[in-house]
Amino acid sequence: MIERGVLDTKSANEVNAHLLSLKEEAIALGANDVRIIPADMVSIEDEIIEMCRPPFCEQYGQSANCPPHVMTPEDARQWIRPYHSALIFKIDVSPGVLFSEEGLEIFKKVFLISARLEELSVGQGYVFSKGLAAGSCKTVFCRDIPCEALINDGKCRYLSVARPSMEALGINVFRLVKDVGWEIHAILRKSDPNDIPSAMLAGLVLV
């Protein structure tokens, strides 16, 4: 369980200034928009994990950062409870690109921004800050090789940047994105990119 002592020693002004600095950094790193929200706005639902199972996602069980190897939604609800704030960022992408090989670079960008913001936040004394990404790190970083962290208790090859996705913990990303006022459309494997008005990927940093 996370101890709240770190945030309790900082004033509201200090926390707000820190969050604003993370927001500015996210924009500098390539995010198209960023919102600062209370952490209790993040909804974790058991049903979301079902979207991680085949045939919806072929990466189920293939990564240490994917179900069933990550914490369950029930554990995630307990884990997230002590957090004070969160920063959600998005990267806009055309539906056609998202469905192409180029889309992997956008997913990778979300991982890199999330990991960098986490690193900066921890460096500023918010030691329990945690970044979450979009999609499976297996697809982005270890597409054609086994997840090292699952082999003989091995260490992740990309420990500094690989993160669980929000969905992997049961976070209802669709609901969260709508709640912060961004446009989002349901996208399925069988979707025709020409029928989708816009697309985006989102990342989250808990502070």
Residue scoring higher pLDDT (112 or 12):
112
Convert the pLDDT of each residue in 154-177 to its tens digit: 799 999 999 999 999 999 999 999
* Alpha-carbon radius of gyration of the chain: 17
The total domain count for the chain is 1
DSSP tag of 40: G
- Better pLDDT: 27 or 12: 27
The answer on pLDDT for 80 being more than 50 is yes
Q: Which long-range contacts (CB under 8 A, 24 or more apart) does 49-54 make?
A: 49/73, 49/167, 49/168, 49/170, 51/167, 52/167, 52/168
The arithmetic mean of pLDDT across residues 105-123, rounded, is 98
Query: What percentage of residues in the chain have a pLDDT greater than 90?
Result: 78
**What is the average pLDDT value for the chain, to the nearest integer?**
91
Q: 61: which 2 tokens?
A: 């069980």
Answer whether 62's CB lies under 8 Å from 142's CB.
no
Q: How many CB atoms lie within 10 A of CB 108?
A: 17
CB atoms within 10 A of CB 153: 8
Please count the other Cβ atoms lying within 10 Å of the Cβ belonging to residue 1: 7
If pLDDT is split at 50, 70 and 90, which confidence band does 198 have?
A: confident
pLDDT(38) > 70: yes
**Mean pLDDT, residues 107-128:** 97
pLDDT value of position 3: 43
Domain span including residue 78: 5-206
Exposure on the CB side of residue 188, measured as CA atoms within 13 A: 6
